Amino acid sequence: MDENNLNRIRDVGTISYRALLNAKALVKPGAKLLDIASAAEKFLLDSGYTCAFPLNLSVNSEAAHYSPAVADEKVFGDKDIVKVDFGAAKDGILGDCAVTVDLSGENGKLVEASEQALADAIATVKAGVKVSEIGKEIANAIESRGFKPIENLGGHGVGEHDLHSKIFIPNFDNGDDTELEEGEVIAIEPFATSGKKGLVTDSDVCEIYGFAGPVQVRNPDARKVLDEIMNKYSSEPFAVRWLSNVIPEKFKLYVAVKELWRSGALTPYPMLIGLGGGNVSQAEAELLVTRDGCEVLTK
């Protein structure tokens, strides 16, 4: 990787982490999720970047992919455990990092489980290491604290305009012999749960979509929304609320988005929820794999 490209990747990683900490500081009991998302996303835009994806604010048994809806009135409760997942984008370079905020002060061990799993995984990373070995370290850190790793979520490669590229890094030893390569950019993403099952499933809530390709639709509102998506959000995932400037009426906007999804123009990223109840914690960092270790990019 040439030095110019590496510096661009480092730059996006640094601002991603700053944006994450900025969002984390806003998570408090009584705070409105929509206000936090709007402020966090504006921070990146005002800094000269765009969002690699909408701010994720997933609560309690929600593992990932909840971003506030149009006119969302939800507020955080004083017992919530909140996953804050965010990243910047610039010229196709993407950042990705996450942290868990325990508003109750009662889930410290669960938060520690995902954070220690991330630290142990980072200590394992270097060129030539098998992804299953990383998964083993993650699972050991989580299980030794009495929790379960979420097995159908994991880390991933990060490519240009591709947040989840090629390589998958499991949160347990899945026997995958794929080896990390020097110069590869990856995200390590441990999830721990206090629930009975270390699995998540799609919910029927979806506020985040990606552009899949142009289609012909009859609904004029859907055509307006599709034009906006193709002009502004064709590369990275977007939130439905980002389109409310095109169709201000909430009901009509969601009808248009649903028609585009059904027509194949959009890829949905539904909210993921833990099976078997319980709370979920998450920790995530983006790394550059080196010959003898790694460089943490989101710091």
**Which residue of the set 80, 184, 189, 286 is catalytic?**
189
The answer to whether residue 1 scores a pLDDT higher than 90 is: no
pLDDT given for residue 4 in this prediction: 86
Average pLDDT of 8-15?
Answer: 98
124 CB-side CA count, 13 A: 22
Is residue 284 part of the annotated active site? The answer reads yes
At residue 142, the 3 state secondary structure works out as: helix
Q: Which of 102, 221, 284, 286 is catalytic?
A: 284
164 is catalytic: yes
Question: Tens digit of pLDDT for each residue in 185-241?
Answer: 999 999 999 999 999 999 999 999 999 999 999 999 999 999 999 999 999 999 999
What is the average pLDDT score of the chain?
97
Question: Containing H/E element for 89?
Answer: strand 88-90
Out of 62, 96, 112, 286, which one is annotated catalytic?
96
Buried b (16+ CB within 10 A) or exposed e, 146-160: ebbbbbebbbbbbbe
* Active-site choice (65, 102, 137, 156): 156
- 78-95: per-residue pLDDT in tens? 999 999 999 999 999 999
Length of the chain: 299
Q: Tell whether the model's pLDDT for residue 41 goes beyond 80.
A: yes
Q: Domains in the chain and their CATH numbers? A: 3-201+272-296 (3.90.230.10), 208-268 (1.10.10.10)
Q: Which of 11, 164, 173, 179 is catalytic?
A: 164
- Mean pLDDT across 118-126: 98
H-state helical runs in the chain = 3-26, 33-46, 108-124, 131-143, 220-232, 250-262
Asked if residues 164 and 267 have their Cβ atoms less than 8 Å apart, the reply is: no
85 counts as catalytic: yes
Catalytic residue chosen out of the listed positions 41, 62, 80, 85: 85
Query: d(Cα 204, Cα 207) in Å, to the nearest integer?
Result: 10
Residues 125-166 pLDDT 10s = 999 999 999 999 999 999 999 999 999 999 999 999 999 988
3-state DSSP helix/strand/coil percent for the chain, to nearest 5? Answer: 35, 25, 40
Percent residues over pLDDT 90 in the chain: 97
The first and second tokens of residue 106, run together, are 């009662």
Q: What is the pLDDT of residue 166?
A: 85
Confidence of residue 113 (pLDDT cuts 50, 70, 90): very high
Cα-based angle 229, 231, 234 (whole degrees, multiple of 5): 55
The pLDDT score that the predictor gives to residue 266 is: 98
CA–CA separation, 229 vs 206, rounded Å?
A: 17
Residue 280 has pLDDT above 90, yes or no: yes
What is the reported pLDDT for 256?
98
The tokens describing 19, both together, are 């944006």
Q: For the chain, what is the total number of helices (H) and then of strands (E)? A: 6, 20
Predicted confidence (pLDDT) per residue in 166-199, tens digit: 899 999 999 999 999 999 999 999 999 999 999 9
Q: Where does the pLDDT of residue 2 fall: very low under 50, low under 70, confident under 90, or very high at 90 and above?
A: confident
Q: Is the whole-model pTM more than 0.85?
A: yes
Is pLDDT of 50 > 90? Answer: yes
Contact criterion met (CB below 8 Å) for 81 and 281: yes
Assess whether 96 carries a catalytic annotation. yes
- pLDDT in the model for residue 3: 84
